[in-house]
Structure 1
């Protein structure tokens, strides 16, 4: 089923994760564990029983995100390697054609040399006729000039071939760069979903240090993943990948800029709110508008929610590209007692 319906995964996760947040938020508000409004996402799942639901739902979301990240990695790798192989085959054919053309040209040059020698012999046999000798000299000179012109043309062809080779080398370097960027994006994406799992299973009020590491991986490294995917999208325009339209590329750039701005606002507002409040003896889970620093706290929490939603919207942009290919189910191949693969 996943072979032909995998393109729905980016849409599913875009709706699934916010629904998970609202479920745990509702449970936390109902049990009066947090104040209504905009608490931090992690605060809605830090106290039992919502902490159990929060961790489980985020684990499922991390698995879905992992499938999407791996699918994106294999899709990009397929296009980059396919175009590189096609170019190598074309280069091999051009090399063979170029060799044949060179052989034909050498034959023509040999014939020109023979004609030139015949012209000289004819000139020697008619030494008595000065007028004819002058004409023969002129003909010989014209023949030599023609040969020089052909040599100039050969030099120009060699120069054009060298320019084409330089262009092909540049394309090969670009494809190698794309393959390296694709691998780096897969690694950063894997770290991102690992951070989501850490943040969901190590609650903020229980193991703060581990939760902070998970949040950094989920939001900070997740932003790096978005940047890498945007660079890959813009660099692979010449490959004509279906679904990688101009609108998708512009949307991804806008999402990266918005995510960066909100991430900076989140860091500054969170630091300011902690320095001002919420006041002695008051938990941050019950930060109300009457306490100092609440305005900065509200800016930080809203920014965090928006950063999370922007990341999910970015995943949704993969939908258009995922529609144009299908996955292949893994094949099981038996092995003989000698640990060699049985041919199919």
Structure 2
């Protein structure tokens, strides 16, 4: 079995590849259509005008969904590990998930409210995305250090430090941070269980 197919390790890989592709594709289309200057434009500028706006919005919305999924799997993983050997405060795990979800919600706002259309809403979304995203990275890094050496080593958790350099580095650092989940997710799977709590009293199932 390939290493990226072990457990749920494919989730952070798909998230990073898809999110980076969203930035690169929208940037390329914006440059080719001469809607932006190719010399380091703002990310928002590469998703302002059609057709790149449509691609940017669609792909970022999917990225936000994948981000929430990966964050939830990380939350469940930490919750499970903490039951075996308590090393972190469960509230810290919940707080990290909440901050990450807010960051992904901010991404959706940025993708769907263009800067030229509704600048205040767009700016709120960008602020929410970057601030909550950065808080999420910091909290998860703290959690990872607290869990050493019970489940993983020190390798891979220093890359988020470069995220404060500029907007592009923040965006890509946020995506690449999820690559550090690969090793953890290889030993974790999720099963969905459907349970019928109550059968209808009128016996409607029998008439189907």
Contact (CA 8 Å) 2:102, 2:128: kept in 1 or not?
Answer: yes
Tell me which of 44, 48, 51 is aligned to 1:49.
51
- Post-superposition Cα deviations, 1:277-309, rounded to whole Å, max 9, x if no partner, equal xxxxxxxxxxxxxxxxxxxxxxxxxx2111111
After superposition, give the CA deviation of every residue in 1:221-251 in whole Å (9 maximum; x if it has no partner).
101000100111111226x12xx2121xxx3
User: Could you say which residue in structure 1 is the equivalent of 2:171?
Assistant: 308
**Deviation readout 1:126-150 (Å, 9 max, x if unpaired):** xxxxxxxxxxxxxxxxxxxxxxxxx
2:133 corresponding residue in structure 1? 222
Distance 1:27 1:258 in 2: 27
Structure 2 residue ranges without an equivalent (≥5)? 202-208
Give yes or no for the alignment of 1:186 onto 2:49.
no
Distance (Å, rounded) in 2 between the aligned partners of 1:200 and 1:4: 32
Tell me if the contact between 1:13 and 1:64 (Cα under 8 Å) persists in the aligned partners: yes
Contact kept in structure 2, 1:4 and 1:327, CA below 8 Å: no
Equivalence for 1:271? none
Q: Provide the TM-score with structure 2 as the length reference.
A: 0.88
Coordinate RMSD, CA, aligned: 1.8
What are the residue-to-residue correspondences of 1:94-133 with 2, within 5 Å? none
Write the distance in 1 (CA, Å) between the matches of 2:26 and 2:7: 29
Following superposition, the deviation at residue 53 of structure 1 comes to 1.3
Q: Which of 193, 198, 205 is equivalent to 1:330?
A: 193
Any conservation in 1 of the 2:22–2:56 contact (CA below 8 Å)?
yes
Kept in 2, the 8 Å contact 1:189–1:222? The answer is yes
Q: Decide whether the 8 Å contact of 2:7 with 2:187 is kept in 1.
A: no
- What secondary structure does 2:175 align onto? helix
Contact 1:193 1:218 in 2 (8 A): yes
Instruction: Compare 66-75 and 323-332 and name the one that shifted more.
Output: 323-332
Q: Deviations over 1:251-284 (max 9, x none)?
A: 32x2232224x1xxxxxxxxxxxxxxxxxxxxxx
CA distance in 2, matches of 1:61, 1:330: 26
Contact 1:178 1:235 in 2 (8 A): no
CA distance in 2, matches of 1:10, 1:229: 14
Shift of 1:6: 2.2
Unaligned runs of 5+ in 1: 85-174, 263-302, 339-344
- CA spacing shift, 1:23–1:257, aligned 2, 3 Å: closer
Residue 64 of structure 2 corresponds to which residue in structure 1?
62
Larger Rg, first or second structure (1 or 2): 1
Distance 1:64 1:312 in 2: 11
Q: Distance in 1 between matches of 2:181 and 2:109?
A: 25
